[in-house]
Structure 1
Amino acid sequence: MTAEYLNHKLECPFCGVIRLQIPADAQPATPIHCAECGKYLGTWDELQTDFEQQGGTEGIFRLDRGRILKLDSSK
């Protein structure tokens, strides 16, 4: 079994984690920061676009309240 990973903008280039600090009322231009180190990652629109390009809701991951969840592929 091979591991599946997300890459690009969702992974913080400064600390290496994928944990987003997303305000509840985020708009497309809202700046999003890493919840671990606080560095700027991009706008909410840029991050959602990047996630969708990597499979988004049709892939093996789901973006839920700023957390990337791996879906159980055995179901």
Structure 2
Amino acid sequence: MADAQYLNHKLECPYCGTIRLRIPENVEPHTPISCEDCGEHLGMWDELQTDFERQGGTNGVFRIDKGRIKRLA
């Protein structure tokens, strides 16, 4: 598993390096997700959630709440 203090892989934009996802209100597993900062495509919602869970999900430092990544503690 990746270092629990940082998110990486699919959640981090490979184009601009930020972790800000543009997630539509009625997101579905097959919904394309892009970077909020630069607009580049990051992957499908299901892929991004799977990557987040693989990195620790709610057992790590971050969690996804209503499409937003929140830092725990």
TM-score class, shorter-chain normalisation, is 0.7 to 0.9
SS of residue paired to 1:68? strand
Q: Could you list the runs of 4 or more consecutive aligned residues of structure 1 that deviate by over 6 angstroms after TM superposition?
A: none
Task: Kindly name which structure, 1 or 2, has the bigger radius of gyration based on alpha carbons.
Answer: 1
Aligned residue in 2 for 1:48: 49
State the alpha-carbon separation in 2 of the partners of residues 60 and 5 from structure 1: 8
Q: CA deviation at 1:55?
A: 0.5
Cα shift readout 1:6-65 (whole Å, capped 9, x = no counterpart): 110000000000000000101000000000000000000000000000000121101234
Aligned residue in 2 for 1:31: 32
Relative contact order, higher structure (CA 8 A, sep 6+): 2
With the length of structure 1 as denominator, give the TM-score of the two structures.
Answer: 0.86
Listed as ranges, the matches of 1:15-30 within 5 Å are 15-30=16-31
Identity among equivalent positions (%) equals 67
State the alpha-carbon separation in 2 of the partners of residues 63 and 14 from structure 1: 22
State the alpha-carbon separation in 2 of the partners of residues 8 and 60 from structure 1: 15
With the length of structure 2 as denominator, give the TM-score of the two structures.
Answer: 0.88
How many aligned positions are there?
70
